[in-house]
Amino acid sequence: MLDPQARALIDLMVERAVPAVHTLTPAEARRFYLERRFFTQPEPPAVGEVRALRTDGGVPLRLYRPAAAGVHPVLVYFHGGGWTIGDLDTHDVLCRQLCDAAGAAVLAVDYRLAPEHRFPAAVDDCLAAVRWLRREAAALALDGARVAIGGDSAGGNLAAAVALLLRDAGEAAPALQLLIYPATDQRAGAPSHRSNAQGYLLTADSVAWYRGHYLPDPAQWTDWRASPLLAPDLSRLPPALVLTAGFDPLRDEGRQYADALSAAGNRVQYVCFERQVHGFITMSKVIDEARTAVALCGAVLRQAFGG
């Protein structure tokens, strides 16, 4: 059964004739996504500090610090939006919630978007942000030895790719991969891409729209930086928490990635919110289970950071 709160949201969007993302230009879609957040997201919760930063290469960042004093561990967070929409503001509330729930700093990354900047620009920016954070952690009074990476949807895809790139470069592994309904296989052939193709916010049409902007050449779909599930070696990766939603086209590839990580010998926790839709974790004003998901992420992050 679809969560009644998710059903009510979908029905309201139909009633109000909210345009499907694949019918819009990227600029229009970004504006709609930014404006629509006020309906589904609560007021931004207070945190100790919010600070604008940039990497050496100019990637915009936003640092959220808890109110409690101390040198905090850090979650580097990559927002969702199909590599095409979304920014620091669309995920401001979620980053504040994660900061509070985890008792950790959160560094949100405003990576370059497609189609202006196609694959692998977003991957490059996210990797650069993690490396920059590790270099600058002491100057920011942050714990560079306790760094997690995470993201939702496209952001989960980017976090998985960054974890692989850090391993291959021989760099220290993050404390955790927080992968929230991640895209892991750009071929989009898993059964949930058919069973959840229409009617649940993220549709087959919108999946193709996002992918077309980010990965216009089908030959790129099997590059493991775009499809981490296809990486030839998934061993020696950080512990992972993988969350999926039951009424999401990406459900099965998220589960497949969790299973593949486990099969390769990694520590993995997998939780499917069976009655939810793609994108639900940012919708805690209208979907109660979003708060449950944030609390779960916070608890696992605290554990990964050592308490």
Check the CA dihedral 228-230-231-236 and report its sign: positive
Phi, psi dihedrals of residue 129, rounded to the nearest 5°: -65, -40
The answer to whether 271 and 295 have CB atoms below 8 angstroms apart is no
Amino acid 64 reads: Y
Q: What is the distance between the alpha carbons of residues 182 and 151, in angstroms, rounded to a whole number?
A: 8
Q: Sign of dihedral through CA atoms 299, 54, 169, 223?
A: positive
Other beta carbons within 10 angstroms of residue 40's beta carbon come to: 17
User: How far is 67 from 255, CA to CA, in rounded Å?
Assistant: 35
The whole-angstrom separation of Cα 140 and Cα 71 is 9
Q: Which residues of 229-243 are buried (b: 16+ CB within 10 A; e: fewer)?
A: bbbeebeebbbbbbb
Looking at the chain, the number of H-run helices and the number of E-run strands are: 9, 8
The bridge status of strand 105-109 relative to strand 72-78 is parallel
Q: Which of 127, 130, 62, 76 is nearest to 104 (CA)?
A: 76
* Torsion region of 152: left, alpha or beta (phi above 0 gives left; psi -120 to 50 gives alpha): beta
Catalytic annotation, residues? 153, 248, 278
